Amino acid sequence: MALAQHGFAAGVEPLKDVQADPAPCLNAAGADDDDKVVALCTDLIDNENTVKADRVKALIARGGAYARKDMVDRAISDYDSALAMDPTLADIFNARGELWRKKGDRPKALADFGAAIKLNPDHAAARANHKSLALELERLGALMAVAGKPSFNCAKARRAVEKAICANPDLADLDREIFAANARAVREAEDARAARALQREQDEFIARRNAQFGRPGYDLQKAMKQRLETLNGVDRH
């Protein structure tokens, strides 16, 4: 009877779930073996016996591997899952922000950098990323404000060539870039004599442009591009 009772007990007692072992995944991450990280950490993530903390670590490890393999969308997805389970991870907000920036989604990147800083005000990487992206957005905003506008006031344009530049956004952008490149070249000239020579070249270009515009065979856009290339060549020396 005792044996029967023992056998009955053994037959109905449920087996306790065995906690998934995170070591293979984490060891692979430590060895920087990205293919092995993806394989082993996927097993850990998909295992129903994996505890929450280990699943978060596995998602972060696999997300890092995907990022290094330039599989940006998959990396972001893993970081999304990790942050959904633990929204206190400043490092992962910063890492995801860098991926959003790589994809060209600046608003999401800026938001993630800001979230990282909010969680950890001393997070140096997030602060640097936030600052550089904010400056980039400021510069882009400034460029958008002058896009399609030349270096001169179109309301005062009298020459046919100036009116043509004002009517064409591409020519207007070229004119503004030429003006800026010449100003930079003159400013960075070795001495006053060199600066005067550079400005004289610019004045001669403008005079030729004004005189030749409208003549058969004259390509205004080509002439402007060549002038910009010449100025940029000066800038590189």
CATH for 73: 1.25.40.10
For residues 31 and 105, membership in a common domain is answered with: yes
Domain limit, last residue, from 76, 96, 121: 121
Asked whether the predicted pLDDT for residue 8 surpasses 50, the reply is: no
What pLDDT does 187 receive? Answer: 87
Residue 11 lies in a domain: no
For residues 29 and 101, membership in a common domain is answered with: yes
Residue 53 lies in a domain: yes
Secondary structure (3-state) at 193? helix
Report the number of distinct structural domains present in the chain: 2
Q: Encode pLDDT of 45-77 as tens digits.
A: 999 999 999 999 999 999 999 999 999 999 999
Q: Encode pLDDT of 150-197 as tens digits.
A: 989 999 999 999 999 999 999 999 999 999 888 888 888 888 999 999
Q: Whose CA is closest to 63, among 95, 90, 89, 33?
A: 95
| Total residue length of the chain | 237
Q: Which residue has the tokens 């991870």?
A: 89
What pLDDT does 2 receive? Answer: 44
Residue 88 lies in a domain: yes
Asked whether the predicted pLDDT for residue 236 surpasses 80, the reply is: no
Q: Whose CA is closest to 99, among 74, 135, 120?
A: 74
Structural domain including 197 reads 154-236
Residue 89 lies in a domain: yes
Residue 215 lies in a domain: yes
The tokens describing 44, both together, are 């850990």
Rg (CA), the chain: 31
Reported confidence tier of residue 142, pLDDT bands at 50, 70, 90: low
For residues 112 and 159, membership in a common domain is answered with: no
Measure Cα distances from 53 to 58, 87, 88, 132, 203 in Å.
9, 13, 13, 33, 69
* Residue 213 identity (one-letter amino acid): F
What pLDDT does 180 receive? Answer: 86
pLDDT, averaged across the chain? 88
Q: Encode pLDDT of 197-233 as tens digits.
A: 999 999 999 999 999 999 999 999 999 999 999 998 8
- CA-CA distance, 152 to 230, in Å (whole number)? 21
Task: Name the more confident of 114 and 233.
Answer: 114
Mean of the pLDDT values across residues 132-149?
76
What pLDDT does 6 receive? Answer: 45
What pLDDT does 64 receive? Answer: 95
Contacts 24+ apart (CB under 8 A), 100-106: 100/76, 101/129, 101/133, 102/72, 103/72, 103/76, 106/133, 106/136, 106/137
